[in-house]
Chain A
Amino acid sequence: MQTNQLLAMFSGVLLLMGLIAFFLGRAKAARVRASGTAMYAQPDQYAWFAVVATAGPAITVGAIGAFLMLLLGAEIPTLYLLACSLVVAAIGLMVGMRQVKPDFHARQAIERVIRWILVAAAMISIFTTFGILFSIIFEALRFFQMHSFWDFITGTVWDPGASFLAAAGRGDEGGSAAQFGSVPLFAGTFMITAIAMLVAIPVGLLSAVYMAEFAPSRVRTFAKPTLEVLAGIPTVVYGFFAAITVAPIIVDVAGFFGLDASFNNAVAPGVVMGIMIIPFISSLSDDVISAVPDSMRQGSLALGMTKGETIRDVVIPAALPGIISASLLAVSRALGETMIVVMAAGMRPNLTANPLEDMTTVTVRIVAALTGDLEFESAETLSAFALGLVLFAVTLSLNLVSVLMIRRFREKYRVNNL
Chain B
Amino acid sequence: MSHSFDDISTQLRRRHRRSSRLKWISMGALGIAGLFLVLFFADMLAKGLPAFQQAQIQVEVDYNEDAQRMGRAALDPEVSRLVSRTFERLIPVRMRDNPELLGTTETRWVLADSEVDQYLKGHRHKLSESQQATVEALVQQDRVELKFNTTFFTSGDSKMPEAAGILSAAVGTVMTLLVTLAIAFPIGVMTAVYLEEFAPDNRLTQIIEININNLAAIPSILFGLLGLAIFINFFGVPRSTPLVGGMTLALMTLPVIIIATRTALRSVPDTIRHAAFGVGCSRWQVVRDHVLPLAMPGIMTGSIIGLAQAMGETAPLIIIGMVAFIPDAGSSFTQAATVLPAQIFTWAGEPEQAFVEKTAGGILVLLAILIFLNATAVVLRKKFERRW
Contacts and interface: CB of A to CB of B under 8 A. Distances in A.
The answer to whether A and B touch directly, with their CB atoms under 8 angstroms apart, is: yes
B219 A395 contact: yes
Contacts of B225: 132, 135-136, 139, 366, 370, 384-385, 388
A1 interface: no
Interface string B224-245: 1110111001110000000000
Interface in A313-346: 329, 332-333, 335-339, 342-343
A126 B195 CA distance: 13
Sorted nearest first, the 3 A-B pairs with minimum C-beta distance are A336-B219, A234-B312, A308-B19
A123 B190 CA distance: 11
Interface size, B (range): 35 or more
Contact of B208 (A122, A202, A209, A311): A122
B21 A308 contact: yes
A34 interface: no
B374 interface: yes
A190 interface: no
B366 interface: yes
Given A129-B215, A308-B18, A339-B314, A241 B40 contact: yes
Interface of A: 70, 107-108, 111, 114-115, 117-119, 121-126, 128-129, 131-132, 135-136, 138-139, 202-207, 209-211, 213-215, 223, 226-227, 229-230, 232-237, 239-241, 243-245, 275, 278, 282, 304, 306-309, 311-312, 329, 332-333, 335-339, 342-343, 363, 366-367, 370-371, 376, 384-385, 388, 391-392, 395-396, 399-400, 403
Contact of B30 (A117, A122, A210): A210
Given A125-B254, A308-B22, A395-B217, 13 more contacts: A118-B191, A121-B187, A121-B194, A206-B29, A210-B29, A227-B30, A234-B312, A308-B21, A342-B345, A366-B319, A370-B225, A391-B221, A399-B213
Interface of B: 8, 12, 15-16, 18-23, 25-30, 32-34, 36-37, 40, 43-44, 47, 186-187, 190-191, 193-195, 198-199, 207-208, 210-215, 217-226, 228-230, 233-235, 251, 254-255, 258, 282-284, 308-309, 311-315, 318-319, 321, 323, 341-342, 344-345, 348-349, 356, 359-360, 363, 366-367, 370, 374
A70 B234 CA distance: 8
Contacts of A241: 40, 43-44
A385 B230 CA distance: 13
B230 A209 contact: no
Nearest to B46: A245
Contacts of A128: 215, 226, 251, 254
Given A122-B191, A241-B43, A306-B18, A392 B218 contact: yes
A307 B18 CA distance: 10
22 contacts: A70-B234, A70-B235, A128-B226, A138-B229, A213-B26, A215-B30, A234-B313, A235-B314, A239-B345, A245-B47, A275-B40, A332-B219, A336-B219, A339-B315, A342-B345, A370-B224, A370-B228, A388-B225, A391-B221, A395-B219, A399-B214, A399-B218
A37 to B, nearest CB: 21
